[in-house]
Amino acid sequence: MTVPVTRKDLMIVNMGPHHPSMHGVLRLILTLDGEDVIDCEPILGYLHRGMEKIAENRTILQYLPYVTRWDYLATMFTEAITVNAPEKLENVQVPQRASYIRVIMLELSRIASHLLWLGPFMADIGAQTPFFYIFRERELIYNLFEAATGMRMMHNYFRIGGVAADLPYGWIEKCFDFCDYFLTGVVEYQKLITRNPIFLERVEGVGIIGGEEAVNWGLSGPMLRASGIQWDLRKVDNYECYNEFDWEIQWQKEGDSLARYLVRIGEMKESIKMIQQALEGIPGGPYENLEVRRFDRAKNSEWNDFAYRFISKKPSPNFELSKQELYARVEAPKGELGIYLIGDNSVFPWRWKIRPPGFINLQILPELVKRMKLADHDDIR
Amino acid sequence: MDNQFIFQYSWDILPKKWVHKMKRSEHGNRFYTNTDNLFPLLCFLKWHTYTRVQVLIDICGVDYPSRKRRFEVVYNLLSTRYNARIRVQTSADEVTRISSVVSLFPSAGWWEREVWDMFGLSFINHPDLRRILTDYGFEGHPLRKDFPLSGYVEVRYDDPEKRVVSEPIEMTQEFRYFDFASPWEQRSDG
């Protein structure tokens, strides 16, 4: 490394796969010169579960329970991308109501993920209390998810062509109450944290990433927007029904940890705005595109007739992927989550490549930690 | 729309030696190239004023065992200036060495390590080509189609030896293949 050192023997420390601060399994091998970090080498793979290989042997419907386990903080996004990819491949229309329900779920999931970023972030800096406060709000979101989908975290909710079940009666009012409560919660966090001089000392000017550098390293999400580049896939790509709401991209110019913090807090507030607009404007109608479930091998088959629709509850969906390739993407809270899907004229995909945002955003870590104090290398996220 | 502009422009202006096939579809426009011309093509796409694809989104390997050059490496690219996405695809077999694009796109470092780990394709000029996702001492390249889903070894902690050992896999249930073809659907005579 070309970083000048002050002593000859550098200490090599292993921050092993398990951490007491809920980072997930990540092994960092740090080369230290006293308190300064000279180099850092992340070693991954502890949570590699072979999801891509499993996807080649499962139909989309069978695969849906697996996808929430990719990113268990923001579970709806993984499901959304898993159904969006085949929908785009086969041009399946999603009813308007289903689209609104999906947007509400996605934005709630984004808030949940940013909350669980905030807790460990503050805990790494040294403030233990926000770690407990965020779980208050996250429990409320879990309750909403449980009422709608049946599971707190690993909901199997999205389907090709819509969602699995409609919102229960009274859910919308509960969600409105949550939005009002959460806005007061965010104000509380801002009062406690944002102008706190200790926090600002720790975080301002730490881990600066320039705009050009961020683009070169392929960053996306809040890390990119905090460096001055206004790139948000929800505005750029116009998927689901995000263009019907009135919201703005949150971005900052400096590119340090404080900027990333402000972008995420701003995103939480924008998400609440979007949820409120969606709840007010949600249309009636079907919540799933049942056409997808029909046997369309023979278009005018007698099995598709009116009389046979009532034989069983719903026929086993047999969604066949045609022989095309597609890259679908969503704006997950961590960045751009993408699926590169190659269909094969059968029910199993031929190649299902997951483009995880966290994998790529982590690659810049060795560049950023050079010459930083040991206590600061956790603040970068 | 901008999305089509940079694709059409590059197709018109690039020498046919570099891009020997192009396909344009609503699901994404792609160039097919061969491994020798891959690096200059990506260099052109990244730096030329009218294309400016500065973001490498993804490098993906695909295995088609029925083809002679069985692997295909797909580079997904994004231009934030023109809001356009382009895909560049090359095909390679087990011993072809592809030139690494780390000097152009630093984010390619880990992507190429993953392609090496999962498929066995090696890249020239990569600063650090080693395994990234599989276990220490893992043999084989998992995402190839001839590697079984359950793998060949299983690991367990061995108490007498006080360490983790790898043993050949022992499954009590055979692999069940769920195809869920509906009983009402006659595949043979519709």
Q: What is the pLDDT along chain A (381 residues), one digit of tens a residue?
A: 455 666 777 888 888 787 766 567 788 888 888 777 888 888 888 888 888 888 888 888 888 889 988 888 888 999 999 988 888 888 888 888 899 999 999 999 999 999 988 888 888 888 888 888 888 889 999 999 999 998 888 888 988 888 888 888 899 999 999 999 999 989 988 888 888 898 888 888 888 888 888 888 888 888 889 888 888 888 888 788 888 888 888 898 888 888 999 999 999 999 999 999 999 988 888 777 766 665 455 555 566 666 666 665 555 556 778 888 888 889 999 888 989 999 888 778 899 999 988 888 888 888 887 767 777 666 666
How far B28 CA lies from chain A's nearest CA (Å)?
7
Q: Are A201 and A164 in contact, with CB atoms under 8 Å apart?
A: no
A219: Cβ–Cβ under 8 A, 6 or more apart, which residues?
A: A209, A227, A335, A360, A361, A364
Q: Inspect the interface and report whether the beta carbons of B60 and A54 lie closer than 8 Å.
A: no
Residues of A in contact with B177 (CB under 8 A): 57
Asked if B55 is an interface residue toward chain A (Cβ–Cβ < 8 A), one would say yes
Give yes or no for a contact between B108 and B129, defined as CB atoms under 8 angstroms apart.
no
| Minimal CA separation from A91 to chain B, in Å | 10
Per-residue pLDDT, B5: 78
Q: Hey, are the CB atoms on B149 and A231 less than 8 Å from each other?
A: no
Calculated CA dihedral for residues A119, A121, A125, A131, nearest 10 degrees: 10
Substitution target in B112, B185, B186 with the highest count of A β-carbons within 10 Å is B185
Could you report the predicted ipTM of this complex, rounded to two decimals?
A: 0.84
DSSP tag of A193: I
How big is the A-B interface in CB pairs under 8 Å? 108
pLDDT of amino acid B187: 45
Contact assessment for residue B118 and residue B143, using Cβ atoms and an 8 Å cutoff: yes
pLDDT digits (tens, 9 = 90+) for B161-188: 777 777 777 777 777 776 655 555 544 4
Tokens 């398990």 map to which residue?
A: A18
| SS3 labels along chain B | CHHHHHHHHHHHHCCCCCEEEEECCCCCEEEEECHHHHHHHHHHHHHCCCCCCCEEEEEEEEECCCCCCCEEEEEEEEECCCCEEEEEEEEECCCCEEECCCCCCCCHHHHHHHHHHHHCCEEECCCCCCCCCCCCCCCCCCCCCCCCCCCCEEEEEECCCCEEEEEECCCCCCCCCCCCCCCCCCCCCC
The pLDDT tens digits of the residues spanning B89-122 come to 888 888 888 888 888 888 888 899 989 888 888 8
Element of type H or E holding A352:
strand A351-355
Angle between helices A129-149 and A171-189 (to 10 degrees): 170
Q: What is the pLDDT of residue A105?
A: 92
Nearest-CA distance from A45 to chain B in Å? 4
Look at chain B and count its residues. Answer: 190
Distance separating alpha carbons of residues A238 and B25, to the nearest angstrom = 19
Residue of B nearest to A329 (CA): B57
Q: Which among A27, A209, A216 is the top mutation candidate for probing chain B, defined by the most B β-carbons within 10 Å of its own β-carbon?
A: A216
Chain A CB within 8 Å of residue B148 CB = no
State the Cα–Cα distance between residues A239 and A164, nearest whole angstrom: 20
Residue to test with chain A: of B1, B58, B66, B88, most A Cβ within 10 A: B58
Are A234 and A331 in contact by the 8 Å Cβ rule? The answer is: yes
Cβ–Cβ gap B55/A215 under 8 Å: yes
User: Looking at the partner chain, which of A44, A89, A216 has a beta carbon nearest the beta carbon of B133?
Assistant: A44
Check whether B18 has a pLDDT greater than 80. no
Q: Which residue has the tokens 């779920």?
A: A105
First to last CA, chain B: 42
| Residue among A85, A156, A98 at smallest CA distance from A285 | A98
Q: Which residues are A162's β-sheet partners?
A: A159, A288
pLDDT of residue B40: 85
Is A63 in contact with A83 (CB distance < 8 Å)? no
A-facing residues of B in 162-181 (CB < 8 A) are: 177-181
Token readout for B108 is 């390619």
Distance CA A361, CA A77 (A): 17
Question: A173: which DSSP letter?
Answer: H
pLDDT band at B131 (very low <50, low <70, confident <90, very high): confident
Res B190: pLDDT: 34
- Indicate yes or no: CB of B55 within 8 angstroms of CB of A355: no
Residue A216 contacts B, CB cutoff 8 Å = yes
Round to whole Å and give the CA distance between A227 and A222.
9
Percent of chain B with pLDDT over 70: 92
Helix (H) or strand (E) holding A202: helix A197-203
Pairwise CB contact (< 8 Å): B131 & A59: no
Q: Is A272 helix (H, G, I), strand (E, B) or coil?
A: helix
CB contact under 8 A, B107 and A88: no
Q: Which of residues 99-138 of B touch A (CB under 8 A)?
A: 105-107, 109-110, 118, 131-135
Which of A327, A355, A365 should we substitute to test contact with B (largest number of B Cβ atoms within 10 Å)? A327
- Pick from A48, A217, A229: which is nearest to B133 by CB? A48
Kindly determine whether residue A59 and residue B185, on different chains, have CB atoms separated by under 8 Å.
no
CA distance A103 to chain B (A): 23
Question: Does A46 contact chain B (CB < 8 Å)?
Answer: no
Tokens 């499954």 correspond to B171
Cα dist from A264 to A8, A115, A270, A329, B159, whole Å: 41, 9, 10, 20, 47
pTM listed for this prediction: 0.86
Flag if B182 and A295 touch (Cβ within 8 Å): yes
Phi, psi for residue B85 in degrees, rounded to 5: -120, 140
Query: Chain A: nearest CA to B48, how far in angstroms?
Result: 15
Pairing of strands B29-33, B84-92: parallel
Between CA A135 and CA A142 the distance in angstroms is 10
Q: Using CA atoms, how far apart are residues B166 and B138, in angstroms rounded to an integer?
A: 9
CA B37 to chain CA centroid, nearest Å: 17
Q: A326 and chain B: CB distance < 8 Å anywhere?
A: yes
Would you call B60 an interface residue with chain A, using a CB distance cutoff of 8 Å? yes
| Residue A302 vs residues A72, A307, B97, B190: alpha-carbon distances, Å | 43, 9, 55, 10
Cβ-contact B87, B22 below 8 angstroms: no
- Is A50 in CB contact (< 8 Å) with chain B? yes
Q: Say yes or no for a CB contact (<8 Å) between B60 and A336.
A: no
* Per-residue burial over B93-127, b = 16 or more CB atoms within 10 Å of its CB, e = otherwise: eeebebbbbbebbbbbbbbbbbbbbbbbbbbeebe
Beta-carbon count within 10 A of B168 CB: 8
CB contact under 8 Å between A347 and B105, yes or no, is: no
Q: Does A322 touch chain B (CB under 8 A)?
A: no
Angstroms from A297 CA to nearest CA on chain B:
7
**CB neighbours of residue A9 within 10 Å:** 7
CA distance linking residue A58 with residue A54, whole number of Å:
7
CB contact under 8 A, B180 and A231: no
Q: Is residue A353 within 8 Å of B60, Cβ to Cβ? A: yes
Identify which of A62, A297, A301 has the shortest CB distance to residue B178.
A62
Query: Contact A89/B27, CB-based, under 8 Å?
Result: yes
CA distance A253 to A236: 20
**Which residues have CB under 8 Å from A15's CB, separation 6+?**
A27, A28, A29, A30
